[in-house]
Amino acid sequence: MDGDSADRLAAENAPVPERVQVGNSPEYVTERKLGQGGFGQVYVGRRVSGGSSRIGPDAYEVALKLEHQSSKACQYGPPHEWHVYQTLKGCYGIPSVHYKGHQGDFYILVMDMLGPSLWDVWNSAGKAMSTHMVACIAVEAISILEKLHSKGFVHGDVKPENFLLGQPGSVDEKKLFLIDLGLASKWKEGTSNQHVGYNQKPDNFRGTIRYASVHAHLGRNGSRRDDLESLAYTLIFLLKGRLPWQGYQGDNKSFLVCKNKMATSPAMLCCLCPAPFKHFVEMVTNMKYDEEPNYSKFISLFDGLIEEPASRPIRIDGALKVGQKRGRMLVNLEDDEQPKKKVRSGSPASQWISVYCARKPMKQRYHYNVSDSRLHQHIEKGSQDGLYISCVASSANCWALIMDAGTGFRSQVYELSPVFLHKDWIMEQWEKNYYITALAGANNGSSLVVMSKGL
């Protein structure tokens, strides 16, 4: 177990305080657990005495978000999320933080108690949502993201679990909130207001695989387009109940999901969905890294799907303000309308492909101009040193080998044959669960076949 895993396990198993009081907050009794994510645990906190409202600093019941001081996010002090909430104080659609502080082994936020997440609502409704409800979610979520982006941040983990409604029975029970700012990052420089420079670290994935943008899979800096692409996937999931890339497992899950997303056109993704959803997917997946989103236009796409105020399952106050402020743009929603820009077609394209190896430095050696008679000597010496053949080539009837310790193989055999591909030998190794991992042919017709297992 590595250090990060050990710290994470210790943090998860550490007992939370039975009572919480941070700063000048009232004292709360820690009750049932509401949830746990990558950035802390959330519990119900019930005020020991007093409390006269359901929300606000005087609420009798609050949400307590606790993060253990040994967690990765707290290695330099209070978690990054604290700074984000402080900067976004009063931002539309972001829950209020009333108190924060350190108690025992935990950094603690005292926040307004909210209601169910969109995931909970979708699940309790038989894993289906009406077009009207998803359209209301769409316009209000776009509005919330606009307000968040206007403060210079991108969320970085937009998904159904991170959109919550207000408390049932309260005035906010139909109001949408965006939570969990642990992955939020700046999209513009603090002093110059310029967009942060483009960067890419292909081994640095941040977010949730199912809903992450293609750019996030490829390790590109987060920008406003990524939140909107994740929102598009969230909406299609809520509407259809499934995304085409669900079901992958294993260490290469992220790669396979990314590959599927790149190969899925908006038309395929939004099959049987009303046209506005397809247009939204087309627009947001076609955005440039530093492009200013046209939030008003995005909202106007869904105008025709939203019914009268009395029947709206989600309040769209923020979306209405966006419309009043900027003026709605009429968008032609005909099914046969062709987008003006090139959109993701569903076919792999060269500009989407990054080839990258995230291996740690590894032991490797190569041999070239190796004759048939000396081949076994080089391979045997490498094998004794824990190296396996990863690549072979031939030139002028001599061989070249690359051997390294990072292949992941646990066993390997090879055959130098006077004919090109010794079929019987290959089939015999297949029966032993060996598979071809390298081969080459020489000018004289001979061949070298390497078969391995243990990947």
- Residue ranges of the annotated binding site for ATP are 65
Tell me how far apart the alpha carbons of residues 140 and 161 are, in angstroms, rounded to a whole number: 16
Tokens 């350190």, residue located: 102
Query: Which of 11, 39, 32, 12 has its CA nearest to residue 180?
Result: 39
Locate 108 and state its tokens: 């603690």
**Using CA of residue 152, residue 156, residue 159, residue 162, what is the dihedral sign?**
negative
- Cα–Cα distance list, 423 to 156, 413, 417, 431, 438 (Å): 52, 15, 10, 13, 15
Instruction: Please report, in range form, the residues annotated as the binding site.
Output: 65
Q: What letter represents residue 89's amino acid?
A: K
Q: What letter represents residue 50's amino acid?
A: G
Helix (H) or strand (E) holding 67: strand 61-68
Q: Are 238 and 118 in contact (CB under 8 A)?
A: yes
SS3 at position 427 = helix
Query: Which of 96, 244, 226, 98 has its CA nearest to residue 157?
Result: 226
User: H helices within 251-301, ranges in order?
Assistant: 253-263, 266-269, 275-285, 295-301
Q: Are 263 and 255 in contact (CB under 8 A)?
A: no
List residues with catalytic annotation: 157
| Opening angle at CA 7, ends 6 and 8, nearest 5 | 90
Q: Are 179 and 114 in contact (CB under 8 A)?
A: yes
Q: Are 112 and 42 in contact (CB under 8 A)?
A: no
Q: Are 313 and 307 in contact (CB under 8 A)?
A: no
Locate 292 and state its tokens: 């200013």
Per-residue b or e along 43-71, where b marks 16 or more CB atoms closer than 10 Å to that residue's CB: bbbbbeeebeebbebebbbbbbbbbbbeb
Return the axis-axis angle of helices 131-150 and 224-240, rounded to nearest 10°. 170
Q: What letter represents residue 373's amino acid?
A: S
Question: Between β-strands 411-417 and 447-453, what pairing exists: parallel, antiparallel or unpaired?
Answer: antiparallel
Q: What are phi and psi of 449, to 5 degrees?
A: -120, 130
Return the axis-axis angle of helices 224-240 and 275-285, rounded to nearest 10°. 150
